[in-house]
Structure 1
Amino acid sequence: MGRERYIGIMSGTSMDGVDTVLVEIEDNNIQLLCEHSFPMGENLKQSLLDICLGQPTNLQAIGELDHRLGHLFADAVLALLDKAQVKASSIKAIGSHGQTVFHSPDSEYAFTMQLGDANIISAKTGITTIADFRRKDMAYGGQGAPLVPAFHQQLFSQPHLSRVILNIGGIANITVLSPGKPVTGYDTGPGNMLMDAWINKHKSLRYDKEGNWAKSGEVNMALLHSLISDPYFLLQPPKSTGRELFNLTWLTDHLQDCQISPENVQRTLAEFTALTIANDVNKESPGELLVCGGGAHNPLIMDRLTKLLPDWEVMTTAEQGVDIDNMEAMAFAWLAYRTLHQLPGNLPEVTGAQQVACLGAIYPS
């Protein structure tokens, strides 16, 4: 296969903006050429959060959000093209994850819903767009998530080195790369999601910069034990989760009988994130832990992981040549490449699907 350029779009559970990347792929080797973070307006974010958290809605509201997100993602792509000074005609395809508003892989009628009309993205940018990556995996009985481990395997697998790739976004997820064993991966639980929601509630901030507010508090062990007792942490992989479970309502239920200062809650949430990650990583043979995602910017989280994982070498993916903020957007550019070339994009041993599948729907330019 010749050298081709792709764009990846990622808007994760944190909803802190739209990450876009321009990459060049040749024979499965991928090179990042340009990246751009595009803001999401507060009004749109709040409308999305209302749906994610179960507020009453209707089909018109959902359809309008789908439309608005389509334009947002298209505008993000156009801004990236302008920054990179490249023409749309030079891009083979866009891989758009979409904005997840509900993920329910374990219900009787399993489904996942990502909004962001790919017809609009394709029409407005003039670039073939690939979207709806998760539902084909679910059609074969999988969780539809996580999908990034296949990309992690491509980038980081080593024949004689155990590695775990940890992405700390709104939800934290790991990919386990053990020599001679199938790749595994799953969501460990909350990443930044609860910390972001709590500081937004009390200080109207999007996130706790460098964990400074959490650092001013202390861990409340009673609350920590209550949080970690959630049945999700006893489930065996494959498993995935999201805002449908871990949200402010869930947290408030655990706080009902507690009198804890807001900063101590924030510190406990940081410990909760680090501990649930470490509990799962420690199940694997020690090696390198490569961290990416927004949580990799949090010194408190990184320090706690280092202390909770004394047998592991903890570092960021940047130390292995992959920017910590662009991993997932790059993954969906790579998945678009896989789809256009009719190659599978899922790992059944990760998602629980019955077979490998070519993922996504193609919206021609």
Structure 2
Amino acid sequence: MENTPDLYVGLMSGTSLDGVDAALVEITPHTSPRLLATHAEPMPTALREMLLTLCHASSASFAELAAAEDAFCHLQARAVSALLVQQGLTGDAIAAIGSHGQTVEHAPNGHQGGPAYTLQLDNPSLLAELTNCRVVADFRRRDLAAGGQAAPLAPAFHQALFHSGEEERVILNLGGFANITWLSQDGGAPLGFDTGPANVLLDAWCQHHGHGTFDENGAWAASGHVDSALLTRLLSEAFFHQPPPRSTGRELFHLPWLESHLNGAEAPADVQATLAELTAASVAQGIGQFLGSRPLTLIIGGGGARNADLCQRLANHLPNANLRPASDWGFPADWIEAGAFAWLAYRRLHNLPGNLPSVTGAKGERVLGGIYAA
């Protein structure tokens, strides 16, 4: 295989529903992926509300699903187009787009005795038409079919980008939910799993009390005090005590879940502080389960990496960790997830596995995703 670079675009829209991230990534067989350019296409309010409704709906019509999927696909296409125009490229310069789609429900253990499923709204056929690019999509369901959790999928990319034989490294993604990848210094199989909520509850509580769409820099949380009794009640949730592999989503952690643990006497700022502490404590609990108090480098990505209050809480819980931003490795915090799906598209086109059974619990390595021609 020639060591010539190919260009891929990775698309990611996470549980925050704030927009579509598009990352242009250069990939060769024998070098680390290199981030070349990025574009963030904001989520229109109407589409965000539509998706939020679907995420929490007990039922939805096919017409509602189709309308949301169509609007989301056009948003993705605008993100790709803006990125290509920014770089003076046309669709034929791109080897493939890696599209994650928009998760509206994730139930890898089934629901009320039913089969396992994970549902991402995506229309790769339409995306290929709109962008004139080959598209790779539907990454999660092959891992699910092989008995895995279908998530997280980014750890395989983390291994390619961040592994070191000189120190223990943990990659922490602070998106809507927090997930970690442990890259062992001795080269053992990576481990990774969701540790619990991150921005999903912090943002929801902020919006509920009219403090904007998110708690900028964690300032509101920093103004409150941790309610230890509330924290104990939140941490009693069974998810926090499940062994990996494990993954979660809005199906479990949402505003009604939080409200079910409140007694009504809590000050709103104290609840925000407690939610930040919940994220830090659950991350530390997950890391400690495998690394104990060993020294490690904690590489932080995702939107929560810009939350100074949350990062300080993590430092307090992990005194033996050296906290470093993902940008030290050429991938700014907000772009690792999009970069991962560019890399997964590369893996699919070269018929290489994209999952890590040690992370997802699948029966073995699998080539992930379907290919849709330009």
Check whether TM > 0.5.
yes
Q: Which moved more, 1:312-321 or 1:225-234?
A: 312-321
Partner of 2:302: 293
In the alignment, which residue of structure 2 is the partner of 1:306? 315
Deviations 1:303-338 (A, max 9, x none): 111111111111111123321110000000000000
Q: What residue number does 2:203 align with?
A: 196
Structure 2 unmatched runs, 5+:
none
Does the 8 Å CA contact 1:73/1:116 hold for their aligned counterparts? no
Cα distance in 2 for residues equivalent to 1:31 and 1:312: 26
Counterpart of 1:274 (choices 280, 288, 305) is: 280
CA distance in 1, matches of 2:211, 2:276: 18
Q: Would you say 1:87 and 2:90 are equivalent positions? A: yes
Alpha-carbon contact 1:306-1:314 (below 8 Å) kept: yes
| Residue 347 (structure 2) pairs with residue 338 (structure 1) | yes
Indicate the residue corresponding to 2:34 in structure 1.
31
**Structure 1: how far apart are the matches of 2:87 and 2:174?**
27
User: Residues of 2 paired with 1:359 and 1:321: CA distance?
Assistant: 26
1:231 aligned onto 2:238 = yes
Alignment partner of 1:73 is 2:76: yes
RMSD, aligned CA: 1.1
Secondary structure at the residue paired with 2:208?
helix
* Contact residue 65 and residue 116 of structure 1 kept, 8 A: no
Would you say 1:169 and 2:178 are equivalent positions?
Answer: no
For structure 1, the 5+ residue unaligned runs are: none
Aligned partner of residue 95 in structure 1, secondary structure = strand
Which residue number in structure 2 is paired with residue 327 of structure 1?
336
Corresponding residue for residue 11 of structure 1: 13
The amino acid of 1:45's aligned partner reads: R
**TM-score, normalisation: structure 2:** 0.95
Q: Give the superposition deviation at 1:204.
A: 5.7
How many correspondences in the alignment?
364
CA contact (8 A) 1:4 1:24 kept: yes
Q: Distance in 2 between matches of 1:56 and 1:138?
A: 23
Asked if the contact 1:68/1:116 (under 8 Å) is kept, the reply is no
Q: Which sits farther off after the overlay, 93-102 or 205-214?
A: 205-214
Q: Give 1:3 shift.
A: 1.3
Match of 1:217 among 211, 214, 224: 224
Structure 1 counterpart of 2:307, one-letter code = N
- Quick one: which of 153, 178, 201 aligns to 1:147? 153
Instruction: Name the amino acid aligned to 2:15.
Output: T
Instruction: Give 1:134's aligned residue.
Output: 140
CA distance in 1, matches of 2:281, 2:45: 31
Distance 1:309 1:56 in 2: 42
Q: Distance in 1 between matches of 2:252 and 2:205?
A: 15
How many angstroms does 1:282 deviate by? 2.2
Aligned residue identity for 1:154: A
Partner of residue 60, structure 1: 63
Q: Give yes or no for the alignment of 1:364 onto 2:370.
A: no
Is 80-89 or 346-355 further displaced after alignment? 80-89
- SS in structure 1 at match of 2:136: strand
Alpha carbons 2:34, 2:330 under 8 Å: kept: no
What letter corresponds to residue 227 of structure 1 in structure 2?
Answer: L
1:288-308 C-alpha deviation (Å, 9 max, x unpaired): 010000000000011111111
For the structure 1 residues 149 and 309, does the alpha-carbon distance in structure 2 shift closer, same or farther, using more than 3 Å as the test?
same
Instruction: Report the alpha carbon displacement of residue 36 of structure 1 after superposing the two structures with TM.
Output: 0.6
Counterpart contact for 1:16–1:206, Cα < 8 Å: no
Shift of 1:55: 4.8
Question: Would you say the 8 A contact 2:35–2:330 is kept in 1?
Answer: no
Selected match of 1:21 from 12, 19, 23:
23
CA contact (8 A) 1:96 1:131 kept: yes
In the alignment, the residues of structure 2 paired with residue 58 and residue 306 of structure 1 have an alpha-carbon distance, to the nearest angstrom, of 46
Measure the CA separation in 2 of the matches of 1:149 and 1:132.
17
* One-letter identity of the residue aligned with 2:63: Q
Paired residue type of 1:358: V
State how far apart, in whole Å, the 1-side matches of 2:295 and 2:253 are: 29
**Hey, what's the Cα distance between the residues in 1 that align with 2:222 and 2:58?**
33
Q: Secondary structure at the match of 1:158?
A: coil
Structure 1 segments of 4 or more deviating over 6 A?
none
Which residue of structure 2 lines up, in the alignment, with residue 156 of structure 1?
162
User: What is the identity percentage for the equivalent residue pairs of Structure 1 and Structure 2?
Assistant: 46
Cα contact 1:140–1:355 (8 A) shared by 2 = yes
> Among residues 89, 97, 101, which one is paired with 2:100 in the alignment?
97
Q: TM-score, normalised by structure 1?
A: 0.98
* Corresponding position: 1:252 with 2:259: yes
Q: What is the rounded CA distance, in whole Å, between the counterparts of 2:299 and 2:288 in structure 1?
A: 14
